[in-house]
Chains A and B, each alone.
Chain A
Amino acid sequence: MSGGSFYQRDRTWHPPAFTPGYKTSVTRSPQKALIALDNTLSEMTGPVFGHDMIGELDNDLIRNFAKDGEPIGQRIIVHGRVLDEDGRGVPGALVEFWQANGGGRYRHKKETYLAPLDPNFGGCGRTITADDGSYRFRTIKPGPYPWPNGVNDWRPAHIHFSIFGLGFAQRLITQMYFEGDPLIWQCPIVATIPDRAAVERLVAPLDMANTVPMDARAYKFDIVLRGRRSTMFENRMEGN
């Protein structure tokens, strides 16, 4: 995993900055071209967080905010691997996630949706990937919710993910969607991604093999971060 600069980002695969169907992007998108910068140490290095930072319940959203009971909703396990573009697991990666409750309501001061808060649900969690890049957490399946974009736009059920790789150039925030949700294909935020294949990669399939009978269903969500070139030091190849 150590080595040289990261593979160039394919910006035809990612959403462009200006996507007028998602209205807020209109005034928040740079109009000038990005300036290409072949990675220096400032981009190839990045913070790494130790497992000792993670509390026992950090990856259990069913219990980490529970007051006098457990949250209401469909109990699910979300698991997968953080990989690089060469298919190698990324160990030690901090993965943070946040979401609305079972009724589509976020616990945030600026949120005004009329669906109620769940007194036993906070909506945040985090974990650090294992040696093979795997991670997992337990939560409630979030509900869809309306938002003021078009007059009648609804977000599909989704979980936000923030991932740190080993270099700051790998920094990524994305969203996970759920298999079979018809709202995915109507959502202006999903539609900022130009390529349907790229969207499909953000849709987590139901994973019956990892369910807990009479307890929780499971969804599998793999995340791919940028890969990196090998560096040559004298005659020795590094990074392969």
Chain B
Amino acid sequence: MVQSLDRLKESASQTAGPYVHIGCTPNYCGIEGVYAEDLGKHMVDADTKGERIRIVGRVFDGVGTPLKDALVEIWQADADGLYPSPGETRGKADPNFSGFGRSPGDMATGEFVFETIKPGKVPFKDGRLQAPHVTLWIVARGINIGLHTRMYFGDEAAANEADPILSRIEHRSRVPTLIAARSEENGVPTYRHDISLQGENETIFFDI
């Protein structure tokens, strides 16, 4: 026998359930007057640096039906590639940018929306630059543990090609599931990014 390492085990995950909005976006589901505003609704203000963009999409199940009860969160760097986090040691991030967004899927269509800015490049462990990306975390009824994925930008082909994570994915046909096409919608640069939980075009999910 040897000594115990005396580490605790992480608390086990459980599904967020169908009523996740009560706790995470109460104003959205009609519980008003408790919080002034739902957390993660506004990521930018008038002084935020960078190109304003919109990220929209839906989450599909294995039958091709959009989830209408998913909650999507994103985390991203500012326009200079700095994270507004105490763990950021390279400099001070834009004080007018939250980096964090939270969107409930629309109850009728399932569409999630983020009004944000295009992030700058963030270094990989070895100093190479990662392509601009947004980290997503998805929870819903039927999802037992939150799913981590990333969204890359379709108009950053050269950076995506050199990205240390994208470039080491073995099944090249799966890489496009992480890349969103850019279009113009109502005058706003928009990246449409649908997520497929299961099946033929299943989105790549990471164990981070």
Q: Is B67 an interface residue (CB 8 A)?
A: yes
Q: Is A154 an interface residue (CB 8 A)?
A: no
Q: Pick from B110-118, B153-161, B180-188, B200-208 the stretch touching chain A.
A: B200-208
Q: Is B51 an interface residue (CB 8 A)?
A: no
Q: Is B53 an interface residue (CB 8 A)?
A: no
Q: What separation, in Å, do the CA atoms of A55 and B208 have in the docked complex?
A: 33
Per-residue 0/1 for B1-34: is the Cβ within 8 Å of any A Cβ (1 yes, 0 no)? 0000011111111111111111110100111011
- Within 43-61 of A, Cβ neighbours of B (below 8 Å) are at 43-49, 55, 57-58
The answer to whether A31 touches B19 (Cβ under 8 A) is no
Chain A residues lying within 8 Å of B21, measured Cβ to Cβ, are: 108
Q: What separation, in Å, do the CA atoms of A36 and B21 have in the docked complex?
A: 30
Chain A residues lying within 8 Å of B122, measured Cβ to Cβ, are: 40-42
Contact of B85 among A32, A47, A122 (CB under 8 A): A47
Q: Pick from A69-77, A128-136, A206-214, A220-228 the stretch touching chain B.
A: A220-228
Q: Is A34 an interface residue (CB 8 A)?
A: yes
Per-residue 0/1 for B100-140: is the Cβ within 8 Å of any A Cβ (1 yes, 0 no)? 10000001000000000000001111000010010101011
The answer to whether B85 touches A173 (Cβ under 8 A) is no
List the B residue with the shortest CB-CB distance to A195: B12
Q: Is A229 an interface residue (CB 8 A)?
A: no
Chain A residues lying within 8 Å of B75, measured Cβ to Cβ, are: 42, 45-47, 168
Query: With A2-B87, A28-B62, A202-B11 in contact, is A160–B17 under 8 Å at CB?
Result: yes
Chain A residues lying within 8 Å of B9, measured Cβ to Cβ, are: 10, 13, 85, 197-198, 201, 224
Query: With A28-B143, A162-B23, A172-B13 in contact, is A86–B7 under 8 Å at CB?
Result: yes
The answer to whether B125 touches A40 (Cβ under 8 A) is yes
Chain A residues lying within 8 Å of B69, measured Cβ to Cβ, are: 110
Q: Is A87 an interface residue (CB 8 A)?
A: yes
Please tell me the number of chain A residues within 8 Å of chain B, measured between CB atoms: 89
Chain A residues lying within 8 Å of B31, measured Cβ to Cβ, are: 65, 107, 122-124
Chain A residues lying within 8 Å of B15, measured Cβ to Cβ, are: 22, 25, 173, 175, 189, 192
Instruction: Report the minimum CB–CB distance from A187 to chain B (whole Å).
Output: 10
Q: What separation, in Å, do the CA atoms of A150 and B99 have in the docked complex?
A: 41
Chain A residues lying within 8 Å of B7, measured Cβ to Cβ, are: 85-87, 227
Chain B residues lying within 8 Å of A199, measured Cβ to Cβ, are: 12
Identify which of B15, B165, B202 gathers the most chain A CB atoms within 10 Å of its CB.
B15
Query: With A28-B142, A47-B98 in contact, is A35–B207 under 8 Å at CB?
Result: yes
The answer to whether B18 touches A110 (Cβ under 8 A) is yes
Chain B residues lying within 8 Å of A65, measured Cβ to Cβ, are: 31, 33-34
Q: What separation, in Å, do the CA atoms of A172 and B13 have in the docked complex?
A: 7
The answer to whether B33 touches A173 (Cβ under 8 A) is no
- Within 87-124 of A, Cβ neighbours of B (below 8 Å) are at 87, 96-99, 106-111, 122-124
Q: What separation, in Å, do the CA atoms of A225 and B14 have in the docked complex?
A: 14
Q: What separation, in Å, do the CA atoms of A64 and B125 have in the docked complex?
A: 45
Per-residue 0/1 for B58-98: is the Cβ within 8 Å of any A Cβ (1 yes, 0 no)? 00011101010100010111000001111110000000001
Instruction: Report the minimum CB–CB distance from A90 to chain B (whole Å).
Output: 12
Q: What separation, in Å, do the CA atoms of A100 and B30 have in the docked complex?
A: 15
Query: With A30-B202, A42-B135, A110-B107 in contact, is A83–B8 under 8 Å at CB?
Result: yes
The answer to whether A108 touches B199 (Cβ under 8 A) is no
Chain B residues lying within 8 Å of A2, measured Cβ to Cβ, are: 86-87
Chain B residues lying within 8 Å of A57, measured Cβ to Cβ, are: 34
Q: Is B145 an interface residue (CB 8 A)?
A: yes
- Pick 19 A–B contacts, CB within 8 A, sort by A: A27-B63, A27-B198, A28-B140, A31-B199, A47-B84, A58-B34, A65-B31, A96-B39, A108-B18, A122-B31, A122-B34, A123-B22, A124-B34, A160-B20, A168-B135, A169-B148, A171-B146, A223-B11, A225-B10
* Additional 19 contacts, C-beta under 8 A, given A28-B141, A65-B33: A27-B142, A29-B197, A29-B198, A30-B147, A35-B206, A36-B206, A37-B165, A45-B87, A46-B75, A55-B35, A55-B36, A87-B7, A87-B8, A96-B23, A110-B107, A160-B20, A167-B87, A201-B9, A227-B7
Q: Which 5 A-B pairs have the closest CB atoms?
A: A98-B23, A24-B142, A28-B142, A45-B85, A47-B100
